[in-house]
Structure 1
Amino acid sequence: MKSSNPIALFDSGVGGLTVTKEVMNEFPDEDVIHFGDTLHLPYGPRPQKEVRGFAFEIIDYLIEILNVKLIIIACNTATAAALKIAQDKFEVPIIGPVKPGAKAAIKKTKNQKIGVIATKGTISSKAYHKEIKLLSKEVEIFAKACPEFVTLVERGKVTGLEVEEVVEGYLASLREVGVDTLLLGCTHFPYLSQVIQKVIGPDVNLIYPGREMAIQAREILSALDDLNKQPKIGSRTFYVSDLDNISYDFVKVGREFLGLDELQFKELPIFDKPNLTQGIK
């Protein structure tokens, strides 16, 4: 494997761009590929076996066709369903958000009450429960599945009265039990962080593991001596599995979030769809 090979991230949709932003900042001289499985979003309500199958197809394509040197699963549901098996199955390093997220939450909490919000799939898997309890037996965990958050983000709705009403409906119970730390267990949720903070309270720590994942990626590549050794400005390429299932409103939000002049997606035929050359801006 060449040290100049790209780093890849994938998510169930385009919400994982929150992690891609951190990776782009951490690796300005590395080529970075983002893939969003918009054909099958959302992953949250799907059975773990089905999600695992999607993840394995994506990982196999990224390794065999795009020759990536490290893969970040920028999706908590896919991480819960596939990470441990994928790490044994594939030779390329693969990481996910659960472990770094749990560590960061435990580090921040003072009253030992941690809230975890995520998709139904992630909550039902108890991935964060298990990881947090491995690190601390004293912490109380209050979990809440928030499936509508993903829908809002994919529609490009991240602020406004509608968003505040939905967030209030989900988070009121966590506010009442007094959590002092709230772990955003879905890569879509940081887009809603402004509203989430307003609803849950200004003194509650919001934890999102994107930054920790980027640092972990650097540590792994450094240990393997696989950091890019060719001085250059890294390329950024954005793919999806279904161009027709992207909200133009979200593209606008994503472009602003990433600080890019334009955000262009291309369709990648991982799931035997035709390869379209046009993108959307």
Structure 2
Amino acid sequence: MADRRPILFFDSGVGGLSVLAPTARLLPQAPLVYVADSAGFPYGTRSEAEIAARVPALLGRLAERYDPRLIVIACNTASTIALQHVRAALDVPIVGTVPAIKPAAALSRTRVIGVLGTEATVRQPYVDDLAARFAADCVVLRHGSAELVAIAEAALGGEAPAVAAVAETLRGLTGQPRGEEIDVIVNACTHFPLLEDALRAATGNRVEFVDGGPGIARRIAHLTEGQQWPAEPVPGRAVFTARSARTEALVPALARYGLVEIEGL
């Protein structure tokens, strides 16, 4: 009998779709459950203690309800703060999402790279460690933006992102000393690849943007290699921890990602 256990993706909002999409392309038969913690959104402005307590408890409930074969924390903030706590609490393989500083450093010619994430992510010691390990010969500039997360959520709901507002956020990086030398920016929030066109327009296509989505998809494929999947595709499921007019506005976009069944937790 085919194994119908899903891969479960978890984020505070819809940013994790930038990880789900490349995974679905690699594993088209995989049942997918996408969970947005809309009751706790946004994580980037919450305290580390709150996230460290909330995420493992919530994922414990979700593991009981959906029996996933693997959980993807498709959120840089939750991963850099709570990943170790989740792995200690759950007997399920866990894949985290961390800023793609290593590939950014490999691409950079100016040796000045930017890390664009939430305020909570960019201040984490985990980011210090990644920079020291993989970009020791680079200047690594950081900027946290809650506004860009909100713009990405609104864009998925059908609101065209204002390039001027995106450009203003990017000046938080480029306005720093040596910021004008940045040639690669790490999208250290899974929401931000959803704004790739606006980000490129705001930089005049002079900067390369990198994120961890494709690499995470390859990691998931490796971890599930040899496992059985349903013979026919299973409709994807989106779960919100709180439903509202804002989450309902996202339903058409979720369908484009194959998430056609919508639930509340």
Which TM-score applies when normalising by structure 2? 0.88
Asked whether 1:210 is paired with 2:213, we answer yes
Which deviates more, 207-216 or 50-59? Answer: 50-59
C-alpha RMSD of the superposition: 2.3
Segments of 5+ residues of structure 1 without an aligned counterpart are 269-281
1:14 positional shift? 2.0
Q: Structure 2 CA distance, aligned partners of 1:78 and 1:147?
A: 15
User: 1:60–1:247: structure 2 CA closer, same or farther, 3 Å change rule?
Assistant: closer
The match for 1:145 is: 144
User: How do 1:1-281 and structure 2 match up within 5 A?
Assistant: 3-98=3-98, 101-156=100-155, 160=160, 163-175=162-174, 176-222=179-225, 225=226, 227-244=227-244, 246-256=246-256, 258=257, 260=258, 263-268=260-265
Give the 4+ runs in structure 1 shifted more than 6 A: none
Segments of 5+ residues of structure 2 without an aligned counterpart are none
Residue type at the aligned position of 2:187? L
8 Å contact kept, 1:28–1:234 = no
Please give the per-residue CA displacement for 1:177-236, whole angstroms capped at 9, x wherever unaligned.
3211111111111121111111223131111211111111111222xx5x2254332331
1:91 positional shift? 2.3
8 Å contact kept, 2:237–2:260 = no
User: 1:249–1:164: structure 2 CA closer, same or farther, 3 Å change rule?
Assistant: farther
Q: Structure 2 CA distance, aligned partners of 1:206 and 1:212?
A: 14
Residue type at the aligned position of 1:41? F
1:136 positional shift? 3.2
8 Å contact kept, 1:255–1:263 = yes
Structure 1 vs Structure 2: percent identity of aligned residues? 24
Q: Structure 1 CA distance, aligned partners of 2:112 and 2:197?
A: 21
Q: Structure 2 CA distance, aligned partners of 1:28 and 1:88?
A: 30
Q: Structure 1 CA distance, aligned partners of 2:56 and 2:229?
A: 29
1:88 positional shift? 3.2
Q: Structure 2 CA distance, aligned partners of 1:104 and 1:158?
A: 31
Residue type at the aligned position of 2:142? A
8 Å contact kept, 1:159–1:192 = no
1:158 positional shift? 7.5
Corresponding pairs, count:
259
Residue type at the aligned position of 1:181? V
Which deviates more, 178-187 or 78-87? Answer: 78-87
8 Å contact kept, 1:30–1:235 = no
Which TM-score applies when normalising by structure 1? 0.83
Q: Structure 2 CA distance, aligned partners of 1:17 and 1:167?
A: 20
User: 1:81–1:124: structure 2 CA closer, same or farther, 3 Å change rule?
Assistant: same
SS at match of 1:45: coil
The match for 1:278 is: none
Q: Structure 2 CA distance, aligned partners of 1:41 and 1:147?
A: 11
Which deviates more, 104-113 or 182-191? Answer: 104-113
